Amino acid sequence: MNSFAVSMLIKSLAARREQLAAQLGKIAGQQFSFAVIKQKLTDPEKIKSIIPVVEQHLDEFLRTRLPKAMPVLSMFIGDSTVNQIKGHLVTELDTLFPVMINQYLNNVENDLNLEKIVSNKIAAISDEQLQSGVQQFLGKELTKFKLLGAATGFIIGVISLILACYIK
């Protein structure tokens, strides 16, 4: 009987998947803090860690690609000028990156509806996948429940048998 109850419970979860998906999506949306992600991604230390990559790219651009694109400019720009331009650009980018990243994350946050994404993903799970997932997640507990039900049924049966024998 308990096996039947467990089976019915799992099937009712599958039948109410849309409600379950909406509720879990709501919980995920409430628990997910985009502000924490913004704070971590705009942390000055994180931004300083990418400055060497930017500096290397700027150096390559100013020394190689810009002179190819504008050959006349290469006659007027030497190493000291390249270093000065690169220094000023890096300083400017150091203040610009947090603003750019923050703006980008604001756009992502506005476009990203985590509640809806989670709800849609859960709603798309097949009945078989849901049943398998519940079985994997609650396997031991379901087995204990079934055994407890069998033991309870056995004890009640024995008591009923004993009472039936004494009543006659």
Q: pLDDT tier at 8 (50, 70, 90 boundaries)?
A: confident
**Cβ atoms 51, 92 nearer than 8 A:** no
pLDDT digits (tens, 9 = 90+) for 134-150: 778 777 887 888 888 88
More confident residue, 137 or 162: 162
pLDDT reading at 95 higher than 80: yes
Residue 51 is which amino acid? I
* Structure tokens belonging to residue 163: 């009472």
Of 63-72, 87-96, 139-148, minimum mean pLDDT range: 139-148
- Distance (Å, whole) CA 128 – CA 86: 59
Structure tokens at 162: 């004993």
* Position 6 confidence tier, pLDDT thresholds 50, 70, 90: low
The highest-confidence range among 31-35, 66-70, 129-133, by mean pLDDT, is 66-70
The residue extents of the domains of the chain are 32-125
| pLDDT above 80 (res 79) | yes
For residue 19, what pLDDT is reported? 82
